[in-house]
Amino acid sequence: MCHDGRNSPSYMIGRKLLNTTNLVPRIIPRAEHTISRTEISEYALKVLYRLKNAGYQGFLVGGGVRDILLGRHPKDFDVATDATPEDLRDLFRNCRLVGRRFRLAHVHFGSDIIEVATFRGQHSGDEDEDAEVVDGRIVRDNVYGTLEEDALRRDFTINSLYYNIDDFSVVDYVGGMDDLRARQLRTIGDPAQRYREDPVRMLRAVRFAGKLDFQIEPNSEEPLRELAALLEGVPPARLFEEVLKLFLTGSAEKTFILLRRYRLFASLFPQTDEVLSLEGGPSLEFVYLALASTDQRVAEGKPVTPAFIFAALLWVPVERLKRRFVERGMMESDAFAQAADSVMAGQNQRVSLPRRFHTSMREIWHLQERFSKRAPKRSARLVEHPRFRAAYDFLALRAQAGDADKELAEWWGQFYSSDEDTRTALVSTVVSDVAEPRRRRRGRRRSNAKPSGAVAT
């Protein structure tokens, strides 16, 4: 075992003070819980048994334990141990050490990775050579300790339950089992202090509440609005990874409601939040529908792309800024390009969007304007565009929200799903409907002219 030899300090769960020097865990025997090894990844079991056979402690911990107890089927399994990262590297040939802020071992089994972490210990602050604290925020933390200390260092009680491979029991130091039954999310330690140590914990609180349909315990909920601005100090690249978890794991709509309730959304998407607060109406409804659509795709096992959800979240400020530029006399295409550049540059200051998504987002936005041009050749070319389906889904959601012409969205839905003859008839109908008044206005001289690709709005 690796232990730093210091006495553990007193600690809090919610507002309850605990003395960690004599904290007695609750042991739930196998007969009294629902975790079965058949629910655990075979690779996680291999890691646990190898640790055990080598004389180390090994526990399944975190979301894997929590989700099995809730009747869910987790995809990720994390392991906690008293083995140091160097011990793990010696023990597992397929191991890579990663991370600076938290030193972890990734044990690879093909494309599967089991994350193994050494028990975290308490640290006394800036003087710890293996820990670095800046303005109350932990920016580096490789202080190792005991199982008890590790349990108290985790973020929420429901994530601090340990499945013991030795006797198949569950070890609970912090009342996590009771909170699971009560379906509530509670921080371990003083909530404000824990959020200051790592502001991303506020996003995790909202994500778990939305994903699990849990209530955030009042003391853990209270500091969220006041401390929301701390997210502005988190590296934008790290926030991108957190946003993916917020919006692409099946509970985006619920999570969005909670983010706005606790003023966290404004720290992630300030431009979007400003427009939604001013306009509401179709703009807000469109965001809700886009998030609900993403949740439905996740539930149905269909692929989802970050580009689509980011395009939806940033469409409102892009469109609003484009309108401003057009009102100032700028050409429509130039106004769109400048608005898109400005909004994405501003967004990257808070949540950085990898450049590989920029092109997809721009194409989805740009195609919204092209949908109004239904000339025969243009229509045929448009449905062949690699981003057509995403852009059409985007248009359909806008129409449903009252932000676009419903007839236009229905027409493109028909055109996309029809054969060539039906497409020709659909285009001819649109062109003749618009071209007829033009022939009357221009008299006989143009009466025999062929339709020239009119614009329908």
Token pair 């232990």 is found at: 3
User: pLDDT at position 99, please?
Assistant: 83
Structural domain of 168: 1-189
User: pLDDT at position 427, please?
Assistant: 87
Is residue 447 domain-resident?
A: no
Is 126 considered catalytic here?
no
Is residue 172 domain-resident?
A: yes
- Tens-digit pLDDT profile for residues 287-328: 999 999 999 999 999 999 999 999 999 999 999 999 999 999
pLDDT greater than 80 at residue 4: no
pLDDT greater than 70 at residue 453: no
- Tens-digit pLDDT profile for residues 22-56: 689 999 999 999 999 999 999 999 999 999 999 99
pLDDT greater than 80 at residue 400: yes
Stated as kind and residue range, the H or E segment containing 171 is: strand 170-172
User: pLDDT at position 449, please?
Assistant: 38
pLDDT greater than 70 at residue 120: yes
Q: Which of 128, 141, 155, 172 is catalytic?
A: 155
Is residue 310 domain-resident?
A: no
Which residues sit opposite 18 in a β-bridge?
11
User: pLDDT at position 354, please?
Assistant: 92
Is residue 408 domain-resident?
A: no
Three-state secondary structure call for residue 368: helix
User: pLDDT at position 127, please?
Assistant: 45
Supply 237's token pair: 């690249």
Q: Are 163 and 59 in contact (CB under 8 A)?
A: yes
Percent of the chain at pLDDT exceeding 90: 76
Q: Which of 45-49, 147-151, 152-156, 419-423 shows the lowest mean pLDDT across its residues?
A: 419-423
Is 112 considered catalytic here?
no
> Cα(307)–Cα(289) distance, rounded to whole angstroms?
16
Domain of 177: which CATH number?
Answer: 3.30.460.10
| Strand 112-118, strand 161-164: pairing | unpaired
Q: Which residues contact 64 (CB under 8 A, 6 or more apart)?
A: 40, 41, 44, 74, 76, 77, 78, 163
- Indicate yes or no: pTM above 0.85: no
Three-state secondary structure call for residue 28: strand
Is residue 170 domain-resident?
A: yes
What is the domain count for the chain?
1
Number of H helices, E strands in the chain: 21, 14
- Tens-digit pLDDT profile for residues 251-276: 999 999 999 999 999 999 999 999 99
Q: Which of 78, 141, 179, 393 is catalytic?
A: 78
277: nearest Cα among 265, 291, 289: 265
Give the distance from CA 107 to its chain's centroid: 24
> Cα(163)–Cα(166) distance, rounded to whole angstroms?
9
DSSP annotation string for 176-217 = HHHHHHHTEE-BBB-HHHHHHH-THHHHHHHHHHHHHTPEEP
Is residue 31 domain-resident?
A: yes
> Cα(98)–Cα(115) distance, rounded to whole angstroms?
10
pLDDT greater than 80 at residue 21: no
Is 273 considered catalytic here?
no
Q: Which of 76, 112, 341, 405 is catalytic?
A: 76
Is residue 272 domain-resident?
A: no
- Tens-digit pLDDT profile for residues 342-398: 999 999 999 999 999 999 999 999 999 999 988 888 898 999 999 999 999 999 999
Is residue 392 domain-resident?
A: no
User: pLDDT at position 138, please?
Assistant: 44
Q: Kindly indicate the confidence band of residue 432, based on its pLDDT and cuts at 50, 70 and 90.
A: low
Q: Are 202 and 228 in contact (CB under 8 A)?
A: yes
Q: Kindly indicate the confidence band of residue 142, based on its pLDDT and cuts at 50, 70 and 90.
A: low
